[in-house]
Structure 1
Amino acid sequence: MDKIEKVARALAKVDGYDADEIIQGEWEVEDNDPEQHFKGKPRWTMYERDARRLSAAFAVLVSE
């Protein structure tokens, strides 16, 4: 887990969400499997942009 993912997970937790909850996906059917499977991204990925911005800001503060 890289630092961006760690920060993104923390942001999701602060907002009261389960960082591993699967969201933003679609149902897929595989050729040999009659059941549908949900393929999606974990919720923490919704926080990646904010995590990158926060990490960049903290890097500036630490380098001073």
Structure 2
Amino acid sequence: MANLFVTIDRTGRFALTQIFEKAYRNTAREVLEHLLEVVPDRIRTVLTNRAIGAPSAE
């Protein structure tokens, strides 16, 4: 099962998604580092949600 990381600008101007086959603590760090590279604005707050994935369609 793949892991989806989604980042959304709360003002609705920007969204970024990344899919990883396996997710580790380092994966989250990589997502945040990539976000810092591509977002033109200063990031002041990071909100997290470790959502439970939907059941598979099998």
Higher Rg: 1
TM-score, normalised via structure 1 length? 0.26
Which structure features the higher share of helix residues? 1
Alignment TM-score, normalising by the size of structure 2: 0.28
